[in-house]
């Protein structure tokens, strides 16, 4: 078998490191190193094998060899980017050069380590990459929760929220929407409650995050 598969369930939310390297001894060494510090890891001999891996539910990162048989690591990085994959990548190579590392870093790689590298350098890079992915997932979840709350608003509440976020006073909103000022206040109060906004400033921040009112 080419992979070192974890005993954890595939949908576990525990952070995981994926290693893609066509050198079996390197895969084993990296797997043993990461497991020795309690990090969950799975290894693959090719990018094709990695792509067959079910999508993980938790934070992850990819330790990727630059020179692979078939698709190179840099080509695979471009493929992942084209597919809107946001998995942080750490490149490792035995044939590294400045041009290669610059290309990799410009394309968003977290780190680029030339073999032989210090074990601690790899562990530091993996820790940073996993933390990056954890933060990204938290931000995405917050936005998703925000969007879910926004979808519960009525059309009128959305209109009031958008106009209020643009800085219009209740009286101005009432005039623009042809409503009474008290009705506007009620819609605004309902919008704040549904959005779980602690203050009006909080509601404005939420509107900005969602891009609400920008086209008005």
Sign of the torsion angle spanned by Cα atoms 9, 10, 11, 14: positive
What residue spans define the domains of the chain? 16-138, 152-210
Q: How confident is the model at residue 12 (pLDDT cuts 50, 70, 90)?
A: low
In whole angstroms, what is the distance from residue 216 CA to residue 211 CA? 11
Query: Is CATH 1.10.10.10 the classification given to domain 152-210?
Result: yes
- Strands 16-20 and 60-65, how do they pair? parallel
Whole-number pLDDT of residue 214: 61
The pLDDT of residue 93 is above 60? yes
Enumerate the β-bridge partners of residue 32: none
pTM of the model: 0.75
Q: How many CB atoms lie within 10 A of CB 89?
A: 25
Q: DSSP string covering 27-58, please?
A: HHHHHHHHHHTT-EEEEESSHHHHHTSPPPSS
The answer to whether residues 129 and 111 touch, using CB atoms and an 8 Å cutoff, is yes
pLDDT tens track for 32-85: 999 999 999 999 999 999 998 887 878 999 999 988 887 788 899 999 999 888
Whole-number pLDDT of residue 4: 45
pLDDT tens track for 104-129: 888 889 899 988 899 999 999 999 99
Residues 6+ apart with CB under 8 A from 149: 194, 195, 196
Tokens linked to 163: 């106009």
Residues 6+ apart with CB under 8 A from 156: 177, 179, 187
- Record: fold of 16-138: Rossmann fold (3.40.50)
HSE toward the beta carbon, residue 197, CA cutoff 13 A: 22
Whole-number pLDDT of residue 9: 43
The pLDDT of residue 31 is above 90? yes
Whole-number pLDDT of residue 61: 96
């Amino acid at each position: 078998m080419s992979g070192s598969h974890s005993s954890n369930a595939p949908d576990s939310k525990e952070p995981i490191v994926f290693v893609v390297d066509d050198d079996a001894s390197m895969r084993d060494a990296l797997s043993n190193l990461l497991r020795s510090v309690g990090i969950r890891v799975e290894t693959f001999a090719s990018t094709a094998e990695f792509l067959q891996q079910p999508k993980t539910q938790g934070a992850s990162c990819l330790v990727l060899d630059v020179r692979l048989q078939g698709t190179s690591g840099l080509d695979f990085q471009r493929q992942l980017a084209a597919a809107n994959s946001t998995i942080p990548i750490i490149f490792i190579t035995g044939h590294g050069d400045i041009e290669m590392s610059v290309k990799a870093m410009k394309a968003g790689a977290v780190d680029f380590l030339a073999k032989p590298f210090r074990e601690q350098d790899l562990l530091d890079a993996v820790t940073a990459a996993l933390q990056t992915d954890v933060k990204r997932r938290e931000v995405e979840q917050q936005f998703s929760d925000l969007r879910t709350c926004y979808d519960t608003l009525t059309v009128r509440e959305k209109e009031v929220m958008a106009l209020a976020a643009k800085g219009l006073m209740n009286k101005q909103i009432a005039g623009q929407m042809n409503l009474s000022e008290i009705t506007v206040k009620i819609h605004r109060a309902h919008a704040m409650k549904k959005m779980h906004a602690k203050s009006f400033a909080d509601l404005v921040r939420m509107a900005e995050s969602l891009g609400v009112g920008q086209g008005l």
